[in-house]
Amino acid sequence: MKVTQHIENAQGKPLFSFEILPPLKGQNIQSIFDSIDPLMEFNPPFIDVTYHREEYEYKELPSGLLEKKIVKKRPGTVGICAAIQNKYRVDAIPHILCGGFNREDTENLLIDLDFLDIDNVVALRGDALKNEIYFKAEKAGNQYASELVTQIANLNKGIYLDEDLQNSSSTNFCIGIAGYPEKHMEAPSVDSDVHFLKQKIKNGAQYIITQMFFDNKKFFDFVAKCRAAGITIPIIPGLKPIATKKQLNLIPHRFSVQLPDDLIMAVVKANDNDAVKQIGIEWCTEQSKELVAAGIPVLHYYSMGKAENIKAIAREVF
């Protein structure tokens, strides 16, 4: 079932959902099930699975020359989605990227997903590779998520890349996209970011999932800005409990989001990582309760494969 239908069917009852990432290459599917099992009691209507594109590594050869090696550290998104739908009978949502794909690859991926009875996708651009400053699309690939949305929306109308295809069947994907309460790191302003967000919706996106935020005011202001700009589709907040001291530096750097001073100082003064985890759980629980009280239809947790803290929050909220 589509995410938008899940929201409609919930009739105001808040829904719990979460995101997982594929395990590192070499691990098995059981590690995924172990991270999902503890959260099933909260009846997630859907589970997102992230996509990780190939990166390059340089290996020194005996000659001293460097060999460029392609590595894919977290493969398996499509297989994991199929396994989730098969085992739990819950909608699995693969994230799909512009980066690393030309349009033909994307079309073939979408055909696989359609054949697997996957009804939802989240369409994303992807980040620049570690050794690049700017994001670079593949040759004949999509440059922005808005173009990827158009390609998916076209396939939903039976429009394939090969215009000569006869009697082609249409897909029926519900398309999610990313939104950034504190603006995307490359966007020159919030207004320009919202302008391009609108483009994705015009092209066919049906709901927004936000980047993580730690101050609900940022989310509420973002929703108000979107609504004022004429965006009417559901906006699902993305939430992440802080779990380690290192994340105080990592999260602002990696995701371009701010942490509130109270949260920072509480974590700084914590004696050990158990104490940090508890602070993260309590902070995220308060955020969640306020969002539910404000009538937000779905809360979406970035579990990063660690169910324990998300479970502690969900117990208090759902």
Q: Does 78 bind ligand FAD (CB under 6 A)?
A: no
In the complex, minimum distance from the CB of residue 298 to ligand FAD, in angstroms, rounded to a whole number: 12
Answer for which of 72, 196, 254, 268 binds ligand FAD (CB under 6 A) is 196
Stretch that binds ligand FAD, among 125-133, 153-161, 214-222, 305-313 (CB under 6 A): 125-133
Question: Which residues pair with residue 18 across a beta bridge?
Answer: 47, 301
Give the residue with the Cβ less far from ligand FAD, 171 or 211.
211
Q: What angle do CA 23, 207, 148 make, to 5 degrees?
A: 70
Stretch that binds ligand FAD, among 60-68, 123-131, 161-169, 269-277 (CB under 6 A): 123-131
Q: Does 175 bind ligand FAD (CB under 6 A)?
A: no
In the complex, minimum distance from the CB of residue 164 to ligand FAD, in angstroms, rounded to a whole number: 29
**Spatial contact of 190 and 142, defined as CB atoms under 8 Å apart:** no
- Size of the chain, expressed as the number of residues it contains: 318
In the complex, minimum distance from the CB of residue 188 to ligand FAD, in angstroms, rounded to a whole number: 8
Percentages helix, strand, coil for the chain (3-state, rounded to 5) are: 40, 20, 40
Token look-up 């949260």 returns 263
Answer for which of 178, 243, 267, 284 binds ligand FAD (CB under 6 A) is 178
Please write down the HEC assignment for all residues of 178-231.
EECCCCCCCCCCHHHHHHHHHHHHHCCCCEEEEEECCCHHHHHHHHHHHHHCCC
Stretch that binds ligand FAD, among 58-66, 155-163, 188-196, 227-235 (CB under 6 A): 188-196
Collapsing DSSP to helix, strand or coil, 308 comes out as helix
Binding map of ligand FAD across residues 232-271, x = CB under 6 A, - = no contact:
------x---------------------------------
Q: Within positions 207 to 226, which residues make up the interface with ligand FAD, using CB under 6 A?
A: 209, 211
**Spatial contact of 313 and 241, defined as CB atoms under 8 Å apart:** yes
Binding map of ligand FAD across residues 272-311, x = CB under 6 A, - = no contact:
----------------------------------------
Binding map of ligand FAD across residues 41-60, x = CB under 6 A, - = no contact:
---------xx---------
Answer for which of 106, 193, 298, 314 binds ligand FAD (CB under 6 A) is 193
**Spatial contact of 2 and 283, defined as CB atoms under 8 Å apart:** no
Please write down the HEC assignment for all residues of 171-187.
CCCEEEEEECCCCCCCC
How many angstroms separate the Cα of 165 from the Cα of each of 88, 169, 204, 275, 308? 36, 10, 22, 60, 49
The span from the CA of 107 to the CA of 73, in Å, is 23
In the complex, minimum distance from the CB of residue 187 to ligand FAD, in angstroms, rounded to a whole number: 4
Assigned token pair, 164: 């000569």
What is the binding site for ligand FAD (CB under 6 A)? 50-51, 95, 97, 124-127, 144-146, 178, 184, 186-187, 192-193, 196, 200, 209, 211, 238
